[in-house]
Structure 1
């Protein structure tokens, strides 16, 4: 009995102390300084890694010709000057020293000579523009994310090397930061859209490029663009408490991307394409860094590019902006095959990100180190999984070889190590770890309500969270507070303290993407949601440019099936001008299509894609289109009047990612 009273008294004292701590804490929207725990964590990094090794700095500067035009600044799109603020400075308390060092390497920019015939513009966007000089002109290898950024890169090259005819464009894979800037080629006057459509200008990409680019940048483009805005730090200020670097390059240009349609696809390994007197040898590496990707070798100069499968950093197995999980085992396999295929020949390796490597021995060692990285991720994950560990336990407890993971080129600046281990598990075994309790979990809001009730109220959860925060346990503080925020986002103590905890996690993180996500999440909490975001990969122009085969699945994705179910079942023959004929079977609210003509359709519609999209958006009536002779309708025209209002062609891109969704984003 006496022991019970003592425990109760101790608990009361603890509660009183916690409440006093809450009263003393400064809950507000201001960005905070690094705490003593964060300072200690970051200072410890200096003892763990070899900061005396300056080899990478000499390599990153090698071949420098000239700085970026206008210091790399493009109004409203890119500010390279601001991204260079860390040069020649010691890391501040609010940035992991290892990440700060990497930012110093990749945030510098300009025109560089890689070899006698190969040049790069680095630092104008997240990716590099590589210019390969051929007999009578140039070939561009990857064309950045932003057309405005690409245009500036072209102008820099031409200022120092002269204007040369564009003989071809090679796009290594299906991610927008490698093809989205294609419009800049037209702006620079190097080609016209007709040159691409006719094949006069070869535009080369791996097989599956268009399908995967559409799948990633259009079908999931809205949510990916929103998450990318947080991941790349586009919603953050450029300073030591905000964005430091994009890791693969300074930052992603704050612009819309375009979607070029290649006219030459590499479909088999070892295919050689001659462009203006130079042979390019291609091999396919699908499901590595991108679902559709290829690497290349230029035998004439023993020059190699392994696209984004080889970088001066650990890459993503799963990108936090959202995409298919990548295959770490295949990644290692393709690197190993490249060593066997070109290892005795290669003299220089250049890529669409970071800086080149020169000399056969150095290039091969670089390839082996990166191969070992991805093979270790796969083998370690599967070994621990076979012991019975789940993805979270593997991420926390896996023992890894320091000789692999402490190499500067393998540090997790872009791909977070814990995330990569979890993702490898999920790709191979799924999200479920065998614990049946995981099948019964509630979504955040419902779990939060029950958690707070079981805890005894919101204030007790906040007290416990502040106690964890004051101990430097920002992870558990965040986990506790997320329950309050998910169930009651109006609790300012919970939202502000959760923002402070996320901020400290960001200050300590070595991975730029997770740092940015922590800091962006903190900003959303402090702003109360609706953080602005200008990134877009699924603009109206991109949608209108889709082929019919890609547009039909997109329309099926954005239709409100519950609304469509109420209008009835209809069969529509849809003839798209300058494209194909489709049968639309609107059945049970589901938008089904076939590329054949139905014999007993309710109505047949001949229309252009832009007019179809304008009609479906409710911006023009079918009657007006018919009066202006823009469409042809045979059959029951009234069927078509059911379609406007069923398709959400303007999905908003300001949704919350930490706070609960706003009312206009929630499922009705």
Structure 2
């Protein structure tokens, strides 16, 4: 039965974007210095922007109560947050970092407990997101609980040390991304939340989106998130300096609490532990389920993640469903009215803004960045331009481009334009040559042969590199590396090229992607993939149907051709059963009574099922457990689950 248990675990092709845990060995920062061309490019950036404008720096430090020290670790000692790791992010930008990004990284490096206004505080720098605390009548109203239990528990403990040991009186989840709810059980355990009837407030659709997002392609998205967040890069001037939204992700134990109160109307007023909140339901832009809010008595507006001190992603480089730029801009226009009495804006990333006029300008700039991106991309689509051409042509007007609060530190205008194109037109650019183009490796091999061999390709790329023409060098070398993967010279020169592209990138996600690619060219892909054991608490709240959908999407179709197998899956603790069957090399499932003609019936509890999904169930937990029973043909059960692929999440990206 070991085989079928292993195969069952395969259907946990389930990983939130932020679900891979632990630092992988053998991957670090860059080994290159900044070239003369990179230094010159970064100097031009420094000369073209008022990088020493003090307003943002004053805002980022305003209200500081205390700064943390030391590290946040998991139970086994794995470091999640090291408050000394980014001490180097200070002073003038080094040649290996875009000066505009460096400025943003310095601002994000202000970790600590901050007073935003009377009775409203933020803990920043403990994780990617901020934890916001509002003093209610009986305790703290916690707005967003960070990514994992370890960082959220540390953040709340730090706040209590300086603000008093008050209980949690309510929790607000602003939206359905894991860095805003994953630490729920770090601030209050499920038993206490139930016994004390702690209100848990969230936007409509929160649980569905929080537990289903990225389930089907979670392994691939988690793998690519290593690039986006620079997960395995050294924290150094030649490595990871920022993410755009904050310093780094806490890759710890992810959990969730089901909401007790959903915000379903466009605007809803609610008293929360004696504090009046006016919630605004804003789904389908930054997140499928999201809310913003005003606290009128404090003249404070919470922008959730529809607003941050950066242009956001319309399509993250890790992958996701395309976000609607037009709807996003419409929400910003509504926010101008909703913030009529606001004197302070605070978000769930980055730092606040004080003063009504400054808040209105901030919102206006974000509104117009998304609207301009949308409208100009559509204009160029209708003029016949393709995604790559649009990305090359589109430029923000000076008024928008000069505004630091909406520059591309997390999102990027060129990538966002491609996202708008994809939303309307799909990935195909209309050129029939791209309808059925060759796969990358075969295409590269033919190009390399056509160009006279890999040595000539590398020599041509070296000339481009020497001229500082890094985009062309990368394009040429990518052919060489895919065409002849064992050519060390091509890989090393491409790695050096990616170093320079990373050093010049204003977007933190682009920098992290380039430098992670360089590290993988030198050291190979990560040896560890997604660790699902950290997700057990959250997976317990995930409907069984989501796992079965992921399981169906993991079926090896060619291997399943001609197979006719049916299995009953019975959950003894849920009083639910599902019939799973393979037909025409497709895995179907239906919630129904066990089929009499099934090849086998597997009876188990959801707890054991979740452990299997997370890969934490061993022989003792399964074969020797009274929570699992097999009736019918064990051989057929093994045959059935042997057809399910297990994706390790360590696939190569920049090599083959």
Unaligned runs of 5+ in 1: 1-28, 186-190, 661-668
Q: CA deviation at 1:639?
A: 4.8
| 1:72–1:81 Cα contact (<8 Å) kept | no
Q: How does 1:396-411 map to 2 (within 5 A)?
A: 396-411=392-407
Q: CA deviation at 1:177?
A: 1.0
Match of 2:81 in 1: 78
Q: CA deviation at 1:182?
A: 1.9
Which one has more relative contact order, counting CA pairs under 8 Å at least 6 apart?
A: 2
Q: C-alpha deviations, 1:144-177, integer Å up to 9, x for none? A: 1132111111111011111111111111111111
Match of 1:25 in 2: none
Are residues 472 and 579 of structure 1, via their aligned partners in 2, closer, same or farther at CA, if it must alter by over 3 Å?
A: farther
1:253 aligned residue (247, 250, 258): 250
| 1:173–1:292 Cα contact (<8 Å) kept | yes
Q: How does 1:235-314 map to 2 (within 5 A)?
A: 235-314=232-311
CA distance in 1, matches of 2:344, 2:635: 65
Q: How does 1:122-271 map to 2 (within 5 A)?
A: 122-185=124-187, 191-196=188-193, 200-271=197-268
Are residues 618 and 124 of structure 1, via their aligned partners in 2, closer, same or farther at CA, if it must alter by over 3 Å?
A: closer
Match of 2:39 in 1: 39
| 2:608–2:617 Cα contact (<8 Å) kept | no
Q: CA deviation at 1:380?
A: 1.0
Q: CA deviation at 1:411?
A: 1.0
TM-score w.r.t. the length of structure 2 is 0.89
Q: C-alpha deviations, 1:347-375, integer Å up to 9, x for none? A: 22111101111222221121111111111
Match of 2:578 in 1: 582
Computed over aligned residues only, the root mean square deviation of the Cα atoms, in angstroms, reads 2.7
| 2:571–2:606 Cα contact (<8 Å) kept | no
| 1:96–1:508 Cα contact (<8 Å) kept | yes
CA distance in 1, matches of 2:87, 2:408: 21
1:525 to 2:521 alignment? yes
1:546 aligned residue (542, 546, 556): 542
CA distance in 1, matches of 2:379, 2:30: 45
1:67 to 2:43 alignment? no
Between Structure 1 and Structure 2, whose CA radius of gyration is higher? 1
Match of 1:375 in 2: 371
Match of 1:8 in 2: none
Task: Give 1 or 2: higher helix fraction.
Answer: 1
SS of equivalent residue, structure 2 residue 79: coil
Are residues 276 and 443 of structure 1, via their aligned partners in 2, closer, same or farther at CA, if it must alter by over 3 Å?
A: same
Length, aligned pairs only:
623
Q: CA deviation at 1:576?
A: 4.7
Q: CA deviation at 1:619?
A: 7.0
| 2:310–2:409 Cα contact (<8 Å) kept | yes
Match of 1:465 in 2: 461
2:648 aligned residue (646, 652, 656): 652
1:430 to 2:432 alignment? no
CA distance in 1, matches of 2:342, 2:572: 49
| 1:380–1:400 Cα contact (<8 Å) kept | no
Are residues 637 and 93 of structure 1, via their aligned partners in 2, closer, same or farther at CA, if it must alter by over 3 Å?
A: closer
Q: C-alpha deviations, 1:225-249, integer Å up to 9, x for none? A: 2211221111111111111112211
Are residues 264 and 282 of structure 1, via their aligned partners in 2, closer, same or farther at CA, if it must alter by over 3 Å?
A: same
Q: CA deviation at 1:633?
A: 6.2
Q: CA deviation at 1:386?
A: 1.3
| 1:257–1:536 Cα contact (<8 Å) kept | no
SS of equivalent residue, structure 2 residue 297: coil
Unaligned runs of 5+ in 2: 1-28
CA distance in 2, matches of 1:151, 1:42: 40
CA distance in 2, matches of 1:332, 1:444: 37
1:592 aligned residue (568, 588, 597): 588
Q: CA deviation at 1:573?
A: 5.8
Of 203-212 and 30-39, deviating more is 203-212
SS of equivalent residue, structure 1 residue 103: helix
2:109 aligned residue (96, 107, 110): 107
| 2:147–2:251 Cα contact (<8 Å) kept | no
Q: How does 1:596-607 map to 2 (within 5 A)?
A: 596-597=592-593, 600-602=596-598, 605-607=602-604
| 1:548–1:576 Cα contact (<8 Å) kept | no
1:353 to 2:349 alignment? yes
